[in-house]
Amino acid sequence: MDKVVWKSPNDEAMVTDYTCPACNKGLLKLFKEDLVLREYVRSKANHKHEDMQSDWVESSCSGVLQCNHDYCLEYVSFCGEARGDDIEYISDEVPGGWGLEYIDKIEIKYIYPSPNLIPLSAKYPESIIQLLKDSFCLYWSSQHLALIKCELSLRRFLMTKSSFEA
């Protein structure tokens, strides 16, 4: 799963690829008013440099995502870091037919509750589901630890498999 969300200053709201962990149907949406970006002090110092580039802009960020499913509309919190960039766009309204737009690429480091990275069956024991959900939360900050937690849940699943097949 891609942990980076592109946020343009013109986006009032954008839909991410993340499925809502509450309903597992809707997609999580980021609203501009629910996003806080604060440029790091060390990054602000770069603005005085004569070779300053957009990708030198680094910020701390946090926000709230909301499910876009009309019958759910649940919220999910996240925090992470953002890095600036310029993207090319094509438009007849711009001389030359194309232009550059500044965007912030947000890398999510923590999200709660995390979207499910794999489908969770209602047939799984609650203890397995909880281990997998813990694994999904770890994925955003440490894929290595997420894998260990996932492996643990798989082992526990195999040990208890016969008990819930009946």
Residues of the chain by 3-state class (helix, strand, coil), percent to 5:
30, 40, 30
Among residues 58 and 74, whose Cβ is nearest to Zn ion?
74
Which DSSP letter does residue 115 get?
A: P
Binder among 6, 22, 105, 109 for Zn ion (CB under 5 A): 22
- DSSP codes, 46-107: GGGSTT--GGG-EEEEEEEEEE--TTT--EEEEEEEEEEEEEEEE-TTSTTSEEEEEEEEEE
Q: Does 20 bind Zn ion (CB under 5 A)?
A: yes
Among residues 15 and 23, whose Cβ is nearest to Zn ion?
23
- Which range of residues in 44-52, 67-75, 105-113, 131-139 is near Zn ion by CB under 5 A? 67-75
Q: Does 67 bind Zn ion (CB under 5 A)?
A: yes
- Which range of residues in 21-29, 51-59, 104-112, 131-139 is near Zn ion by CB under 5 A? 21-29
Paired sense of beta strands 98-112 and 75-90, if any: antiparallel
Q: Does 15 bind Zn ion (CB under 5 A)?
A: no
Write the single-letter amino acid at 136: F
Among residues 18 and 140, whose Cβ is nearest to Zn ion?
18
Residues that bind Zn ion (CB under 5 A): 20, 22-23, 26, 67, 69, 72, 74
